[in-house]
Amino acid sequence: MGRSEHEPEPEKGGPSTFSPSAELPPLSAHDLGDLRRLGEQWQVSAAVRALPVDPQADGFRSSGGATGAAVLFRPDGAGQLTATAAAERRDTPEGRAAGRLRRLLLGRPLASASTLRERMPKLIALPVLASDLLSSVAYGPEAMLAVLVLAGSGALGLSLPIAAALVLLMLAVGISYRQTVHAYPHGAGSYLVASDSLGPRAGLTAAAGLVLDYVLTVAVSVSAGVAAITSALPSLAPFSVPMALGVIGLLLTGNLRGIRVAGNLFAAPTYLFLAAIVGLIAVGLAHAAARGFSVVAPPPTAAAEGLGLLVVMRAFASGATSMTGIEAVSNAVPVFRPVEWRNARTVLTWMVGILIFLFTGLTLLFHFNGLVPRSDETLLSQLAHVTFPHGPWYAIIQATTALVLLLAANTAFNDLPRLLYFMARDSYVPRRFLHIGDRLALSNGLILLAVAAAVILVAFGGRTHSLIPLYAVGVFLAFTLSQTGMINHWRRQRGPGWRRRAVTNGVGAALSAVVLLTAAVTKFVEGAWVVVLAVPVLIYLCLRVRRHYDRVRHALSLHPTTTGEPAGAGTIGERTPAVVPQQVRHLFVVPVARLNQATMRTLAYVGSLGQPALALHISPEEGEADRFRAQWATWGDHIPLETIQSPHRVIIQPLAEYVSALRLSRPDLTFTVVVPDVVVDHPWQRLLHYRTEQRLRRTLRRHPGIIVANVPTHLCL
Amino acid sequence: MGRSEHEPEPEKGGPSTFSPSAELPPLSAHDLGDLRRLGEQWQVSAAVRALPVDPQADGFRSSGGATGAAVLFRPDGAGQLTATAAAERRDTPEGRAAGRLRRLLLGRPLASASTLRERMPKLIALPVLASDLLSSVAYGPEAMLAVLVLAGSGALGLSLPIAAALVLLMLAVGISYRQTVHAYPHGAGSYLVASDSLGPRAGLTAAAGLVLDYVLTVAVSVSAGVAAITSALPSLAPFSVPMALGVIGLLLTGNLRGIRVAGNLFAAPTYLFLAAIVGLIAVGLAHAAARGFSVVAPPPTAAAEGLGLLVVMRAFASGATSMTGIEAVSNAVPVFRPVEWRNARTVLTWMVGILIFLFTGLTLLFHFNGLVPRSDETLLSQLAHVTFPHGPWYAIIQATTALVLLLAANTAFNDLPRLLYFMARDSYVPRRFLHIGDRLALSNGLILLAVAAAVILVAFGGRTHSLIPLYAVGVFLAFTLSQTGMINHWRRQRGPGWRRRAVTNGVGAALSAVVLLTAAVTKFVEGAWVVVLAVPVLIYLCLRVRRHYDRVRHALSLHPTTTGEPAGAGTIGERTPAVVPQQVRHLFVVPVARLNQATMRTLAYVGSLGQPALALHISPEEGEADRFRAQWATWGDHIPLETIQSPHRVIIQPLAEYVSALRLSRPDLTFTVVVPDVVVDHPWQRLLHYRTEQRLRRTLRRHPGIIVANVPTHLCL
């Protein structure tokens, strides 16, 4: 691999950069052409450009009120304003209280300019990225033994050959990922790699697997972490689900605060955990050596099922959960210091090496000490008890295990929102996952992850061993697709040594595929069916979302097809109306129930526009309509009035239907319904008013092409 | 009383008529003057009156669609349209399904023209109005004995003198109400009488008492009716609360269907009940006569408390619940055939006579047979068992008792919505109680009553005896105030024999007051405190509601004070802006996120109005703002653009604050924010869009004087 270390070309704003502007993507050259042609057709009166305000000089200060006048916007001299924090403040008492709570929990908002990426030295990156992978040894070997013990304690000896096969798998996948990191220096997540080299469907499949995997990572790591605590303090066992939910809440809050704290927070516990487990293995091996590596016979267990290939395969697939998290480095190449890909590859090699050491060591010690899985205590806890019967060592091992497992859950909090961001950029998930929160975190993805993991955790009662069968399928699906994608990548590039590289990735892909199939088949009834079912469902939903966005984009595109219909309002679809002002013909409609200040103000507003207007009055009774017309005449009949009798005393529907029917008869007109709107302050006061404005708006919103404006009259009572 | 039978003057649209126009009251002469003066100041261009449509000829037919084109509005020739049922139809699938369910449950809507009042002959009016009063004997005597038995079985003999006192009370109150019916021929509910003759506060107090009374009538009658059923069929006892709730639901549905069915529905069961109880009393007295009117000794019961004046008073107050419903006739004078007051008075006399007979007969028989209240069987059921040990008579008595109690509950469904209507007309309760539903029922009052009664029933576990202590206070409060009001009425009128009439009502008032005080004091700890507390709370709330409506009316009144401020929008309160179009100066503001069909259409709409306009773009990043300005220039820069950088990527708040700050700097301008609005069909699609329009509107609604219009672009995807 030495020769391949040429510098990959840095791409500007490559596929893995986050930008708040992703929500507002640039127009294509084609769109810009349409825009120019459209603008050339525009004719507006000079009055439109005669601004009565100076948009830069006016409107700098808030009204003051309780907080005193504050500067809301600062001009930058170049004709642009920048909003200050005061302009973002909510202006209701409840809104302000919520804002204060938010600031207390999450800290002050961070400006977009702070999106400068945090670069990590290798010794910080190692613990940050490795906590997920390394913490897997706390449940992976145990999951493997838990399957073997079903075939009786005699079958436990098979753990050594299975572990050897798993070590080979780790090596193959590790080497395969080393190549991926080099090939995709801007981030080599399975979604990006599979999309790029195998096509969008493959990318989507990998993404669906990864989404499930991340949710399960949180659920499994948190429940395993809580199990490490309850193994040491059995009296806490009844509270494991609330404890787990509390941990998820903490992780969510921490991540919403932003990634900046994350690095330092990670380093210490991961290194402590490493030291503790390495110490455990060293002391354990020393004890075993002192006993001449004799094997303590495990407590005899009756075989629940016969020892067959199926059991061995299931044990292999269960043990493979120790590898979850191996993809962390490939997702995170850009966080390394330059030369990013080189540093990333080094850290990946370290990680795989440490994983193999821990996994082999622990499996051997479980074997030498004849330990079998129990429901009330984890295997690691049993081993620690046997190895350190006295002193503080047991407590240290359990505490660091718990801590590192909780940090492993945090890895998913880093990765899932990022994945959703890329998927949202490709329109596969709702666009709100593009939004960068006020602490520069991808808040919506974080919240989704926390909620989903909490639901799964509660549904499975917080039991790690029930969650394990669901776990391997998603992650190995992503591994397989990403490694397969790399084969294509090398074939297309045909750089020096591309065959060797393709073969390396091919081996990784093949082995991953074997684990994937094994896990899906052997654990199908135990729970893998959930994932096998969920992946296609997720893919279907993503494709539906994508189709919706594509249609919206097409429907809203600027490309003019006909110019026969007026601008202003209409249905897009069968015909595309022109969007130039000189073709707009107006009719303003004012619903009037009674003549008061609010109505008069609305009529004055409409009258001042100098466009045709029609007032509508819905009357519940003949006599009332006559009375109203008399009032209208008293006023002077400045605007034509139509009264409609509604024999069943319904107001909203006939109003909406009348305007809608008018519009159908004259589709060339643009209808604007201007509604008088009495605004009261307190919610209880709203109970005392009909809220016609809101109800009418809701109803008219279903009728295409009718603009609704409210003329508010605020009552300061 | 013979001489007083002169014809009272019929008032046109008197205080007790219902009209759908009550929601749209006429303007005062003063208001009309203001309106005329205001109209004289108006100047509008001729364009405003140049309608591009014929409001009578266009818009008759719906678009068709699934249901085919339907006639929506019919002209009446005199320049007015009448909405057809098609125009009232909801136009979403869910809305249509809800409409069908509604029609199935409640029947077709009835036109306002059908409000012709249903007149009842006396023999129909008697059962309709008497079911509440007469059914009270099913629990009144029992409630009295239940108090006495606390002082031991020896105290039960006191039931006879207490019953005699109650009979006197019934006579006095009955005679007193005869006079009320005559004096208020358009309906003499306690609220109207007390308001009219003692002032609004007294009326409100009576109303508060009545509101509680009606709610308790439903709860007590329904629970007593269900007790009549479970006495006969003890296996149903565990289901009494669900059964009672089901009955309330039935009563609500029936009443929402409208009052038309009510009359016939009532007659048969009430007469059956009367016949059954009269038969029971006759046979029972015959048996007692055969025994020489010897008294069967009641089962010896240990005294739980000493026999004192307090126990006697409490028994008296409990027995007085037999009189609840005596006010029914006075509320309902207008439903009688002419001469209404005379017929009403006759029926009232019959009712009181029958009540006295039933009450005396049952009390005597309970005494002769030595019956004591038991928790698992009502006294009436015990008496029926003793009197008719064999044959179907027992079942008939229980069934008719249950039925008439349920109909008694129905009386409250007639009366409470009516009371709320009058209170709403006086602005003491939300105006929505004025609304006459599509079946001509006062739907909102019905729903409120059903919900409140259901809540109380569930809260008290459906036990009649727990509800009784709450019952007497409210109703005797209303009696006392209404009778006292009559004294004032006669004093003011000073007609022939006014002193005699005043004394008669005075006796009624004094006796009612005695029962009121007795009930409030002796049953205070048992539950009467709830009512004693609730009455002032209700009065306070009503006064708050009234104050709010008064302030709104004043704030919205047309009386011009200053003409310094522009029309169109603003805060009413410190200054009243003028409402004439020639003073309105506009600035239109268009928030633009991206340039697409929806935005272009919005800009064209604004451009076509020929008023000054300003486009606003909120940018999350410096670079994005530059890119957007370049696009704007490509389009042709037809409308001035201002970009605001929002460093924390917040959109809504800075937008709202900017417009609000502009308005503060130029309060003479009318600001209209025109928002592009992409409308999608399905709720799940809404998850995929930001809904900026709604969020912006919600935020801007708090900023006074800013008009918000949405330009919808419907996507037919």
d(CA B185, CA B189): 10
Q: What is the pLDDT of residue A560?
A: 55
Residue-level pLDDT at B436: 80
Cβ atoms of residues A405 and A381 within 8 Å = no
Smallest CA–CA distance from B620 into chain A, residue: A20
pLDDT at A114: 55
Which pLDDT belongs to residue A605? Answer: 92
Q: For residue B113, what pLDDT band results from cuts at 50, 70 and 90?
A: low
Of B430, B523, B489, the residue nearest B190 (C-alpha): B489
| Mean pLDDT taken over chain B | 83
- List the end-to-end C-alpha distance of chain B, in Å, as a whole number: 78
Residue bearing the bigger pLDDT, B706 or B255: B706
Please report the pLDDT score of residue A680 as a whole number: 84
Q: In this structure, what token pair is assigned to residue B542?
A: 């009503």
User: In this model, does residue B577 exceed pLDDT 70?
Assistant: no
Interface of A with B in 82-111 (CB under 8 A): 82-83, 85-92, 109-111
Alpha-carbon distance A535 to nearest alpha carbon in chain B (angstroms):
20
CA distance to partner chain A, nearest, from residue B450 (Å): 19
Band the pLDDT of A102: cuts 50, 70, 90: confident
Distance CA B357, CA B167 (A): 9
pLDDT at A298: 80
- Whether chain A has a CB inside 8 Å of the CB on B575: the answer is no
Q: Which of A563, A574, A635, A706 to mutate to test the interface with B (most CBs of B within 10 A)?
A: A635
Highest mean pLDDT of the ranges B29-38, B358-367, B373-382? B358-367
Q: Closest by alpha carbon to A374, among A224, A220, A231?
A: A231
pLDDT surpassing 70 at residue B576: no
One-character DSSP codes across A297-335: PPPP---SS---HHHHHHHHHHHGGGGTTTTHHHHTGGG
For B561-630, the three-class secondary structure string (H helix, E strand, C coil) is CCCCCCCCCEEECCCCCCCCHHHCEEEEEEECCCCCHHHHHHHHHHHHCCCCEEEEEEECCHHHHHHHHH
User: Would you list the DSSP string of B165-225?
Assistant: HHHHHHHHHHHHHHHHHHH-TT---HHHHHHHHH-HHHHHHHHHHHHHHHHHHHHHHHHHH
Report the DSSP beta bridge partners of residue A591.
A616
Peptide bond preceding A339 in cis form (omega within 30 of 0): yes
pLDDT at B418: 85
pLDDT of residue A7: 36
Angle formed by the axes of helices B200-232 and B240-256, nearest 10°:
130
Residues from chain A contacting residue B567 (CB–CB below 8 Å): 600-601, 604-605, 608
pLDDT digits (tens, 9 = 90+) for A33-73: 888 888 888 888 888 888 887 777 655 655 544 445 567 77
Q: A72-81, A329-338, A508-517 — which is least confidently predicted?
A: A72-81
- What is the β-pairing status of strands A613-619 and A585-591? parallel
Question: How close are the terminal C-alpha atoms of chain A, in Å?
Answer: 79
The pLDDT score that the predictor gives to residue B435 is 84
- Residue among B48, B568, B639 whose CB faces A612 most closely: B48
Measured between CB atoms, does A346 come within 8 Å of chain B? no
Residue A682 makes CB contacts below 8 A (sequence gap 6+) with none
Q: What is the pLDDT of residue A587?
A: 92
H-state helical runs in A494-572: 498-522, 529-556
DSSP secondary structure of A377-419: S-HHHHHHHHH-SSSTHHHHHHHHHHHHHHHHHHHHHHHHHHH
- The fraction of chain A above a pLDDT of 70, given in percent, is 89
For residue A8, pLDDT beyond 90: no
Neighbouring residues of A176: CB distance < 8 A, sequence distance ≥ 6: A483, A486, A504, A505, A507, A508, A509
Q: Quick count: other Cβ atoms within 10 Å of Cβ B665?
A: 15
Label residue A118 by pLDDT band (50, 70, 90): low
Judged by a CB distance cut-off of 8 A, whether residue A45 touches chain B is yes
Instruction: Read off the DSSP letter of residue A54.
Output: -
3-state secondary structure of A616: strand
DSSP class of A705: T
pLDDT of residue A451: 96
Name the closest residue on chain A to residue B594, using Cα atoms: A24
Put simply, the answer to whether A653 touches B62 (Cβ < 8 Å) is: no
Contact residues, chain B, for A618 at CB < 8 Å:
83
What is residue A292's DSSP assignment? T
Q: What is the CA radius of gyration of chain B?
A: 33
Looking up tokens 């402590």 gives A272
Distance from CA of A571 to the nearest CA of B (A): 5
Of B605, B618, B645, which is closest to A670 when you measure between CB atoms?
Answer: B605
CA distance B516 to B532: 11
Contact list in B for residue A88 (CB cut-off 8 A) is 646, 648, 650, 653-654, 657
For A547, the closest chain B residue by CA position comes to B717
Among A250-254, A269-273, B159-163, B186-190, the least confident range: B186-190
CA neighbor of B162 nearest in space, from B647, B494, B522? B522
What phi and psi values does residue A589 have, to the nearest 5 degrees? -120, 130
Instruction: State the nearest Cα–Cα gap between A550 and chain B, in angstroms.
Output: 10
pLDDT for B227 beyond 80: yes
Nearest to A639 by CA among A593, A597, A608, A670: A608
Cβ separation A649–B60 shorter than 8 A:
no
Interface of B with A in 631-660 (CB under 8 A): 631, 634-636, 638-640, 642-650, 653-654, 656-658, 660
Q: Cα torsion at A91, A95, A101, A104 (round to 10°)?
A: -30
Using pLDDT thresholds of 50, 70 and 90, give the confidence band for residue B437: confident
* A-chain residues near B60 (CB < 8 A): 661
pLDDT, position A5:
37
More confident residue, A583 or A12: A583
Q: How many CB pairs under 8 A join A and B?
A: 562
* Mean predicted confidence (pLDDT) in A161-182: 90
B window 507-566, beta carbon within 8 A of A: 545, 548-549, 551-552, 555-558
Nearest Cα neighbor of B677 from B651, B708, B714, B642 is: B714
How far is CA B403 from each of CA A404, A449, B226, B273, B666, rounded to the nearest angstrom? 71, 58, 9, 8, 70
CA R_g for chain A: 33
Q: What is the pLDDT of residue A423?
A: 92
Q: Is there a contact between B605 and A567 if contact means CB atoms under 8 Å apart? A: yes
With both helix axes pointing from N to C terminus, report the angle between B190-198 and B200-232 in degrees, rounded to the nearest 10: 160
Question: Of B56, B552, B707, which has the smallest distance from its Cβ to A715's Cβ?
Answer: B552
Residue type for position B563? T
Averaged pLDDT, A552-571: 59
Q: What is the pLDDT of residue B2?
A: 37
**Higher model confidence: residue A92 or residue B295?**
B295
Report H helices in A426-463: 443-459
* Residue A691 phi, psi (nearest 5): 55, 40
Q: How many residues does chain A have?
A: 717
B61 has which bridge partners? B71
Who contacts A117 (Cβ-Cβ below 8 Å, separation ≥6)? A334, A335
The single-letter code of the amino acid at A532 is V
Quote the strand ranges of B15-110, DSSP E. 73-75, 81-83
Cα–Cα distance measured from residue A162 to residue A314, given in angstroms and rounded to the nearest whole number = 10
Q: Taking all residues of chain A, what is their mean pLDDT, rounded to a whole number?
A: 83
Tokens of residue A296, six digits: 């303590």
In this prediction, residue B560 has a pLDDT band, given cuts at 50, 70 and 90, of: low
Range scoring the smallest mean pLDDT among A16-25, A206-215, A286-295, B202-211: A16-25
Report pLDDT for B9: 35
DSSP H or E segment with residue A618: strand A613-619
Is the CB of residue B266 less than 8 Å from the CB of residue B131? Answer: yes
pLDDT the model gives residue B114: 55
Model confidence over A357-385: pLDDT tens digits?
Answer: 999 999 999 999 888 888 888 889 999 98
Q: What is the pLDDT of residue B563?
A: 39
Q: Decide if A664 and B606 are in contact by the 8 Å CB cutoff.
A: no
- What whole-number distance in Å separates Cα of residue A293 and Cα of residue B398? 90
Answer whether A318's CB lies under 8 Å from A468's CB.
yes
Task: Fill in the amino acid letter for A464.
Answer: T
Q: Is B40 on the interface with A (CB under 8 A)?
A: yes
Backbone φ and ψ for A714, nearest 5 degrees, come out as -80, 130
* A613 min Cα distance to partner chain B (Å): 5
Residue B363 · residue B160 · CB < 8 Å: yes
pLDDT greater at residue B674 or residue B194: B674
Q: How far is A84 from chain B (nearest CA, A)?
A: 8
Q: What is the pTM of this model?
A: 0.80
Least confident of A542-551, B429-438, B597-606: B429-438
Report the alpha-carbon distance of residue B429 to residue B176 in Å, rounded: 29
Mean pLDDT throughout B514-536?
A: 87
CA atoms within 13 A on the CB side of A18: 24
Q: Which one of B112, B433, B586 would you mutate to disrupt binding with A, by most A Cβ within 10 Å of its Cβ?
A: B112
CA distance B197 to B205: 13
Burial class (CB in 10 A: 0-12, 13-18, 19+), A234: exposed
Q: B496: exposed, middle or buried (C-beta count within 10 Å: 0-12, 13-18, 19+)?
A: exposed
Contact predicate A417/A433, CB 8 Å: yes
Peptide bond into A226 cis (omega under 30): no
Residue with tokens 């009272």: B8
Cβ-contact B560, A703 below 8 angstroms: no
Percentage of chain B modeled with pLDDT above 70: 89
